């Protein structure tokens, strides 16, 4: 069994520690915070504990590193892991600039190492079911996809809604469509913290002509985690707030009867929810990483998916920067996170 070393035991890291431990792969832990080290050393007595990332990298018993530190630190930590010859699972997004992500992808490819971004939703059985419906042609030609990721809070001050929330929907939209956008637009406004957009609307147009939209906000009365796919024959909604009906298929669509000389009508059939397995997406994601570590990175699809997401986020951020007032620009969300 491969052994992983996890760096970052703040909010999200403990979930990764639990899953890798359950999978029998947790070899070591690392955090600069002494209180966290003490707490997690007691919980995982069989994992070696380090205060210093270099010591973790020097641990000969490890095959891979899992990075769950704040986003601005990801690129440097991931690069050092790959340079040390270790496979890397890096929480999303692994870099804040496309050039940095390209560097990580090249480094991993040169050394035949796994580089996997933490695109958790891709391992969600509901998202996988939507992907299977699209790929099987069930929905017919896909017209558009839109994501709603809104809530009141968590209000962040060093990362805007695009980078904090958009990475989830974007990873799914690019995965479902299997292409990168040819054109992007983003509009947003920083209401609370100068330069950190709280509400962002994004538009993406793909080479195939399909379009997508994302509404990202932490200033909203609704808690929404929803993705809608509109096809010519059927439409499907993935709603992560639903306990049981995570996926709903609508047999609805436009229709042109032969006898109406080009006039469009609509058609409404059944509405049904297929059963979605209850497996924890994070467990499936961790197991996928271990499988890659054992079998090798293959064609590096995960790393390239990560690059497509970072490239698109950076292009959307550039559009946001074009529309903010000059006074806001020096401290823009992305710039802060990059500093």
Ligand X SMILES: NC(=O)c1ccc[n+]([C@@H]2O[C@H](COP(=O)([O-])OP(=O)(O)OC[C@H]3O[C@@H](n4cnc5c(N)ncnc54)[C@H](O)[C@@H]3O)[C@@H](O)[C@H]2O)c1
Residues that bind ligand X (CB under 6 A): 7-13, 30-33, 36, 53, 68-71, 73, 91-92, 118, 120
Give φ, ψ of 246 to 5 degrees: -70, -35
Q: Which is nearer to ligand X, 11 or 264 (CB)?
A: 11
Q: Which is nearer to ligand X, 75 or 206 (CB)?
A: 75
Q: Which is nearer to ligand X, 193 or 273 (CB)?
A: 193
Q: Which is nearer to ligand X, 69 or 230 (CB)?
A: 69
Shortest separation between residue 157's beta carbon and ligand X, angstroms: 13
Q: Which is nearer to ligand X, 25 or 121 (CB)?
A: 121
Shortest separation between residue 294's beta carbon and ligand X, angstroms: 23
CA distance 186 to 203: 6
Six-digit token string for 285: 């994601």
Q: Which is nearer to ligand X, 225 or 234 (CB)?
A: 225
Q: How far is it between the farthest Cα atoms of the chain?
A: 76
Shortest separation between residue 289's beta carbon and ligand X, angstroms: 13
Six-digit token string for 65: 């590193």
Shortest separation between residue 98's beta carbon and ligand X, angstroms: 18
Q: Which is nearer to ligand X, 133 or 284 (CB)?
A: 284
Shortest separation between residue 37's beta carbon and ligand X, angstroms: 9
Question: Would you list the DSSP string of 296-330?
Answer: --TT-HHHHHHHHHHHHHHHHHHHHHHHS-GGGGG
Question: Would you list the DSSP string of 23-70?
Answer: TT-EEEEE-S-HHHHHHHHHH-TTSEEESSHHHHHT-TT-SEEEE-S-
CA distance 294 to 4: 12
With 0-12 / 13-18 / 19 or more C-beta atoms within 10 angstroms meaning exposed / middle / buried, residue 42 is: exposed
CA distance 189 to 196: 8
**Preceding amide of 154 cis, omega within 30:** yes
Q: Nearest to ligand X by Cβ — which residue?
A: 10
Shortest separation between residue 278's beta carbon and ligand X, angstroms: 18
Shortest separation between residue 48's beta carbon and ligand X, angstroms: 14
């Amino acid at each position: 069994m491969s052994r992983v070393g996890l760096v970052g035991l703040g909010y999200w890291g403990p979930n990764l520690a639990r899953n890798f431990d359950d999978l029998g792969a947790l070899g070591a832990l690392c955090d600069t915070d002494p209180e966290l080290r003490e707490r997690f050393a007691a919980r995982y007595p069989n994992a070696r504990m380090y205060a210093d990332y270099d010591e973790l990298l020097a641990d000969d018993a490890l095959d891979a590193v899992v990075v769950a530190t704040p986003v601005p630190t990801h690129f440097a930590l991931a690069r050092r892991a790959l340079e040390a010859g270790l496979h890397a699972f890096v929480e999303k997004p692994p870099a804040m600039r496309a050039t940095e992500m390209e560097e990580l992808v090249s480094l991993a490819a040169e050394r035949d190492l796994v580089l996997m971004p933490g695109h958790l939703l891709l391992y969600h059985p509901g998202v996988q079911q939507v992907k299977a419906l699209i790929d099987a042609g069930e929905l017919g030609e896909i017209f558009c996809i839109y994501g709603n990721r809104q809530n009141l809070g968590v209000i962040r001050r060093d990362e805007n809604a695009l980078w904090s929330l958009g990475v989830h929907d974007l990873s799914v939209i690019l995965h479902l469509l299997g292409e990168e956008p040819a054109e992007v637009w983003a509009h947003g406004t920083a209401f609370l913290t100068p330069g950190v957009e709280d509400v962002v609307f994004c538009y993406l147009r793909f080479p195939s002509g399909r379009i997508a939209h994302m509404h990202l906000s932490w200033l909203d009365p609704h808690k929404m985690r929803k993705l809608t796919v509109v096809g010519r024959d059927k439409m499907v909604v993935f709603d992560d707030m639903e306990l049981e009906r995570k996926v709903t298929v609508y047999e609805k669509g436009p229709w042109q009867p032969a006898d109406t000389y080009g006039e469009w009508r609509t058609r409404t059939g059944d509405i049904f929810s297929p059963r979605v397995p209850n497996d924890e997406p994070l467990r499936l994601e961790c197991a996928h990483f271990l499988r890659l570590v054992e079998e090798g990175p293959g064609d590096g699809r995960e790393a390239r998916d990560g690059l497509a997401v970072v490239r698109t986020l950076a292009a959307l951020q550039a559009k946001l920067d074009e529309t903010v007032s000059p006074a806001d620009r020096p401290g823009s969300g992305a710039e802060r996170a990059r500093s």
